[in-house]
């Protein structure tokens, strides 16, 4: 189990610098039906809605399936994001982990390991979920959009498959699940190229709460090993 948690941790590092999110259940492309509008219309609504969000907080459940035996780990925590590029992911169970971006550097810390990994935030215009969450991406520009069927999606939601317009090394497509009325994010899913699968489910989302910048600073604890990455984690 410890090995699987470490594998999940390595995936989370990529998630927070390139948002490598992994799909927990198969996603099937869905055709447009008479009771829902064109997928690109929903994508434009999501983009317009998100452009009015300057910051947000949420609780999340992260389910990861990977490894030779296909074991599953479910983790929980809280998320705080402030555009552009400031993020704080706090994992509370089953193991405490902390990922903090101050807008320039990402600090990845697992207290039990007594190690902090410091890496640069990729600020290029790559079509990654981090860019969207951090306010730099654009759904209609950076992705080819189509409908998706997500069996575990909450009721009254839309699910869109997003295929990047340029090849990404870590994933082939993403799925956004949003509320039909507010277009708030409910789930974010994908599959990595190593076969890992994962789902992030969000709840208690609060928008434009104006968190102070100090919430996105990280003080390296005394007595821990510090590993500096020369290039952004891909």
Entry pTM: 0.79
Distance CA 150, CA 88 (A): 27
Count, residues in the chain: 234
pLDDT digits (tens, 9 = 90+) for 113-139: 999 999 987 655 544 555 556 666 788
Separation between Cα atoms, residue 91 and residue 76, nearest integer Å = 6
Q: Which of these CATH numbers, 3.40.50.300, 2.50.20.10, 1.20.120.1810, 2.40.50.100, describes 2-228?
A: 2.50.20.10
Give pLDDT, residue 226: 96
Residues in Cβ contact with 120 at an 8 Å cutoff, skipping those fewer than 6 apart: 104, 105, 106, 229, 231, 232
Q: What's the pLDDT at 123?
A: 59
Is the pLDDT score of 71 beyond 90?
A: no
With pLDDT > 90 as the criterion, what percentage of the chain qualifies? 51
Q: How does the average pLDDT of the chain come out, rounded?
A: 80
For residue 225, give the nearest of 116, 140, 88 by alpha carbon.
Answer: 116
């Amino acid at each position: 189990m410890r090995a699987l948690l470490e594998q999940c941790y390595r995936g989370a590092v990529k998630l927070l610098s390139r948002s490598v999110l992994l799909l927990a259940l198969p996603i099937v492309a869905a055709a447009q039906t008479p009771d829902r509008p064109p997928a690109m219309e929903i994508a434009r609504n999501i983009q317009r809605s998100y452009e009015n969000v300057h910051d947000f907080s949420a609780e999340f459940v992260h389910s990861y399936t990977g490894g030779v035996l296909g074991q599953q780990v479910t983790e929980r925590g809280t998320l705080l994001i402030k555009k552009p590029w400031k993020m704080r992911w706090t994992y509370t169970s089953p193991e405490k982990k902390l990922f903090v971006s101050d807008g320039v550097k990402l600090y990845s810390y697992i207290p039990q390991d007594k190690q902090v990994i410091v890496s640069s935030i990729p600020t290029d215009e790559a079509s990654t979920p981090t860019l969207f969450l951090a306010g730099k991406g654009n759904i209609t520009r950076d992705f080819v959009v189509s409908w998706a069927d997500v069996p575990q999606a909450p009721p009254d939601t839309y699910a869109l498959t997003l295929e990047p317009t340029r090849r990404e090394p870590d994933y082939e497509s993403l799925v956004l699940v949003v509320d039909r009325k507010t277009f708030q994010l409910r789930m974010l899913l994908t599959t990595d190229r190593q076969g890992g699968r994962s789902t992030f489910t969000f709840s208690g989302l609060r928008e434009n709460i104006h968190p102070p910048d100090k919430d996105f600073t990280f003080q390296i604890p005394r007595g821990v090993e510090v590993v500096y990455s020369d290039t952004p984690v891909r």
